[in-house]
Structure 1
């Protein structure tokens, strides 16, 4: 299971990441807590060799904390109203599509959904007295029972991929492409490497011999100049020496 980022620090997301680690195989590549320029935070990005690319928003809370839910808004106990996790991940996924433009991975179809690792699908359905959500809406999300095995998890991802609104058209069967994956991984990595040192031009020669001794360019030591000074009349005043430093 290749993991391309550090594990998330938030406890609920970390537990979910550990559950994925117990399921995933070498065909499933994972990125956690992804921050990219112009892209809202993505809790999990999955590139799976069978199911394609799926972005997940993780809500690791018990169902009792979910007081109200719609496709656009959610009310969570103790937190109040905010954008629905479905809306959050959909927005971030469209931003990721824009971020990939101009790269070899720009045509990769992206899907998105919400993961509720502490809630089963049956518990979710039983939680609501009245709902205006479309029939089968709960099938578009990942619940704890979808994490029972890798096959079950992949079936849910495939269901999401076939019905995700992200992308320019409905996706066909996903075919893993190594060049597309490499371009996708490089774009998410955003790493720069130093350019290689240029090769010597033809005719350039290099010698292992020690360089010729360089003649010191320091100024010479000051020279002592002896001058004879005389007073008015030589016969009356003895001669003496006066030292001058140039």
Structure 2
């Protein structure tokens, strides 16, 4: 695995890969979302010899999977503002890269995969245009994004717990919105792809249950640590965050996940 540096931009993200909690966050996301991403990518078609780009690759679970599918004749370029260590593959190159500011080669890729990145970028539609240009004619862009505005609680041990969970969800939304994130973008990204010139755009919604022992709920535990400073600024207290962590172990607790939208389209 080869690593080089380019740009990096210096923007501050709430989910910072330099955080001590980043590894746990990515592990939970992989446990929840990899089956969706791999299922959708397999349906679209990943073939040996393809050239792939994985933007915001994080710990690299999808980049490594892609490298196993396309190698040895293909290649995968995995990029992130702060790349995390990932499994070594001959077909895999890791690059420190800011997709907003740093150049991408044009007409270079057969497949581009982007998961939970564009909703956090105020420049998301300009980045879509850059990703369109980076694809070869006939190449496919695959996005996976949340509609984080949908996250209903289902069962809780008491009314106070339900109210606290709802306030926690609203505090998270406010914290992201102050950084320019569009937390409902998952349900709008298919239309954005059509505006960007993609054809054959398809969107598949996915829902899961958050319950004790699931990676979906374990991710919420990580969020109470990873986003602690932002959540305190939005009105929660450390005692309430501790109460949430206890709630997330209660067998009575169940909530619906955000809607996960898997969207793909092709450059004509």
Q: Which has the higher contact order (CA 8 A, sep 6+)?
A: 2
Q: TM-score, normalising length from structure 2?
A: 0.27
Structure richer in helix, relative to its length = 2
Q: Look at both structures and tell me which one has the larger radius of gyration over its CA atoms.
A: 1
